[in-house]
Structure 1
Amino acid sequence: MEHDFLIIGGGVAGITAGAALSDLGSVLLWEAESAFGYHASGRSAALFEENYGPAPVIALNRASRATHDAGGWLSPRGFMLVGGASEADAFEADLATFGLQEIAMEAARDRVPILSPDVTRAAHDDGAQDIDTDALLQAGLRRIRAAGGKTETDRRLDRLDRVPGGWRAVAGDRAVVVRQVIVAAGPWADEVAALAGVQTLGLIPLRRSMARIAAPDGHDVSGWPVLMGPGETWYAKPDAGALIVSPAEEVPIVPMDTFADDMVLAEGLARYQAAVTPEVTRPLSTWAGLRTFAPDRCLAIGPSETDGFWWCAGQGGYGFQSAPAAAQLLADRVAGRTPDIDAASVAALDPGRFR
């Protein structure tokens, strides 16, 4: 066997999984594109919001915090929910879901002075943090290489076949034999499983469009929190002197290098516009990414029904913030150790729940 572990997918899921598994054996990481973190990982909103996601995801978020802090990947951002009178029900639901504290509108406008008079309620969380995604990815790649592992780009999987004691994988003119396979291929994870003859999970890639707009009225937005409309109907996040605005749509789409939908973006920008006073002008740039969910919107981390084939998939919109604990959970399960997170969360994240 050339390696103990072949990890298919070089985004945050695959890189952090490879780093965690490096303590257990030799890792080979394959990424189909010419750069690591190209697809979903390169288009993430990059926010650590501990209470974002269903209960098992929140457990991973909380278990990841210490690693994020130790890595120095987090920096203060803040998160603010804003809404008008017609959005009361959705606002109340988000207050409970995110565990937010409602604040006076005067305090809200001190933080974000462009809020429209139609915004009548606001809630804030000081704990939300920006994630330095590149630093996190590079730390994982360094850890794999320091342990003697290999990281390779331009390796688009063509075949994955069982052989005695392991698997034979082929990508173009490159063929390797490995002991175990971990699929961390985001929207393509089910396709990898099908190549291997492994039962798929029914993963659902969902498109989300983004627009980058100039800082409103020339404001310094660097200290502003992330803004979100009730029910996650839109959000806006400061980014390098500008704002990223998303309609936060979830449109099922086949796995692909996707692009923004102009009409959906226009609708989302209109919802953002209703919450602020400056006029939204032409976006500086637009793009889109895929957030891939399992049917129950929880991650799938653990073994398949086929010996030696492991899942690290379904990260959805929670990939970066949950990655350290998700990778550790995978490594614990591969090693046969009792995971640090609670047993109920381990069961809720087990891919076997779909069999």
Structure 2
Amino acid sequence: MTRFDIVIVGGGIAGASLGAELAARASVLILEKEAAAGYHATGRSVAFWEETYGGPLVQPLTTASGPMLLSPDPDFSDRPFLSPRRTLHVGRAEDAEARDRLLADYAGKVDLERVDPHRIVPGLRPGWTLGLLEPAVKDIDVGALHQAWLRRFQRRGGAMRLSTTLRSARRQDGGWRLETSDGPVGCGVIVDAAGAWADEVARACGVAPLGITPLRRTVLQLRVPALPSPALPLVMDMGGGFYFKPEGKGHIWLTPHDEAPSPPCDAAPDEMAVAQAIARFQEAVDWPIEAVERKWAGLRSFASDRAPVYGFDPEMPGFFWFAGQGGFGIQTSPAAALLARSLLLEEPIPEAIASLDPAAYCPTRFR
């Protein structure tokens, strides 16, 4: 039976980033049940870095990750993963409370400017009178980032087994014996980085689940020839009804911001959500839609308080949670991986993330 110090279940952005940080200090195996890593949530992201996205508990992780994504170490990438975008938060008169909450939650932390939204987005319909500009928002090259994590993991000696399912695991000799579709594996620590399958992995290991719930998000690509400019900001409804982002000349990515509970699965777009997205888009701007070019869906997985879960399970030795990262696991991956590495290896927290409070993300809050 092959043995490793650490086995990570899940090869998406969470497992790849943490694996890359651990592999220089321990022998690490990533188990990925799909034929390609990053097939699910990682490969279906709308791909932006936004400090207000995910809420006040996520913002410190996003902010700390920004410099590492914008100016990565040369051995990690020879170019930035971020490029300029901006976000325009828009609202109608009834959204004044949501606007004020944004301003209060991020005062002194994130730059938010009151603006006339019609000066920034031509074709915005008259009812949308409230505007907050978040100028620091960037697009993320998700594919390049994920591949960079995987390359670093492999260069540092990490091993990966694709198309390999964890069937069960039990404590044995102070560690774990895992039964997989590719045979037994031994290790000292299991890391649950399985995204929508996080609670299922926990159950397979005899660990009580935390109630991490997958929520489906539907996304469309529309052909909109009247799009004024591909450099327009990401436009986000303060009321939570939609957001859309230019994706090249004459194309946008649009979502109705849906959060439908779903079992862990290969998510498919919901036709009702597609119709809602189009209706809400047409209520916001007067740009004619020429075609729905494609549509897809992904599962964003949340704990009950919508904060991520990083740390050892208090009731099961050697079981480490790295899950519940919603739709913000990509934009927070550098800081989250450093924090989780420190917690797992019981090392001092690096200076780059010294401002983070690990207690905010600890699984003990659910036990």
Per the TM superposition, whether the score is higher than 0.5 is yes
1:5, CA displacement in angstroms? 1.1
> Could you tell me which of 341, 345, 361 is aligned with 1:331?
341
Aligned equivalents of 1:12, 1:85: Cα separation in 2: 38
Q: Which residue of 1 aligns with 2:90?
A: 82
> Could you tell me which of 238, 246, 249 is aligned with 2:246?
238
Q: How does 1:92-107 map to 2 (within 5 A)?
A: 92-97=100-105, 100-107=112-119
Q: Secondary structure at the match of 1:180?
A: strand
- State whether residues 91 and 239 of structure 2, in contact with CA within 8 Å, keep that contact through their aligned partners in structure 1: no
Of 53-62 and 253-262, the range deviating more from structure 2: 53-62
Letter paired with 2:29: L
Query: CA-atom RMSD, angstroms?
Result: 1.8
Q: Deviations over 1:32-53 (max 9, x none)?
A: 1111111111111211111222
Gaps of 5+ in 2: 73-79
Whether 1:135 and 2:147 are equivalent positions in the alignment is: no
Q: Deviations over 1:257-305 (max 9, x none)?
A: 1111111221122111111012334411111111100111000001012
Letter paired with 1:239: E
Aligned equivalents of 1:37, 1:3: Cα separation in 2: 22
Q: Deviations over 1:152-185 (max 9, x none)?
A: 2111211212221321222213321122110100
Gaps of 5+ in 1: none
- State whether residues 82 and 139 of structure 2, in contact with CA within 8 Å, keep that contact through their aligned partners in structure 1: yes
Q: Deviations over 1:80-129 (max 9, x none)?
A: 01223343333443444465211134532xxx323223322322111000
Aligned equivalents of 1:12, 1:105: Cα separation in 2: 34
> Stretches of 4+ moved more than 6 A in 1?
none
1:6, CA displacement in angstroms? 0.7
Q: Deviations over 1:112-154 (max 9, x none)?
A: 3232233223221110001111111111111111111112211
Q: Which residue of 1 aligns with 2:18?
A: 17
Letter paired with 1:39: H
Q: Which residue of 2 aligns with 1:223?
A: 231
Name the one with the larger helix percent.
Answer: 1
Q: Which residue of 2 aligns with 1:351?
A: 363
1:229, CA displacement in angstroms? 1.2
Letter paired with 1:75: S
When residues 342 and 134 of structure 1 are mapped into structure 2, their CA distance, relative to the original with a 3 A threshold, is same
Q: Which residue of 1 aligns with 2:34?
A: 33
Q: Secondary structure at the match of 1:56?
A: coil
Q: How does 1:42-121 map to 2 (within 5 A)?
A: 42-71=43-72, 72-97=80-105, 100-108=112-120, 112-121=121-130
Letter paired with 2:275: A
Aligned equivalents of 1:137, 1:315: Cα separation in 2: 15
When normalised by structure 2's length, the TM-score is: 0.90
When normalised by structure 1's length, the TM-score is: 0.93
- State whether residues 48 and 131 of structure 1, in contact with CA within 8 Å, keep that contact through their aligned partners in structure 2: yes
Q: Deviations over 1:296-347 (max 9, x none)?
A: 1000001012111100000002111111111111110112123244687211
Aligned equivalents of 1:255, 1:131: Cα separation in 2: 25
Of 278-287 and 316-325, the range deviating more from structure 2: 278-287
- State whether residues 56 and 345 of structure 1, in contact with CA within 8 Å, keep that contact through their aligned partners in structure 2: no
When residues 86 and 348 of structure 1 are mapped into structure 2, their CA distance, relative to the original with a 3 A threshold, is closer
Q: How does 1:137-286 map to 2 (within 5 A)?
A: 137-217=146-226, 219=227, 221-241=229-249, 242-286=251-295
Aligned equivalents of 2:273, 2:231: Cα separation in 1: 28
Q: Deviations over 1:197-221 (max 9, x none)?
A: 112111111111111101342x364
Aligned equivalents of 2:343, 2:163: Cα separation in 1: 29
When residues 274 and 321 of structure 1 are mapped into structure 2, their CA distance, relative to the original with a 3 A threshold, is same
Q: Which residue of 1 aligns with 2:77?
A: none
1:77, CA displacement in angstroms? 0.6
Q: Secondary structure at the match of 1:283?
A: strand
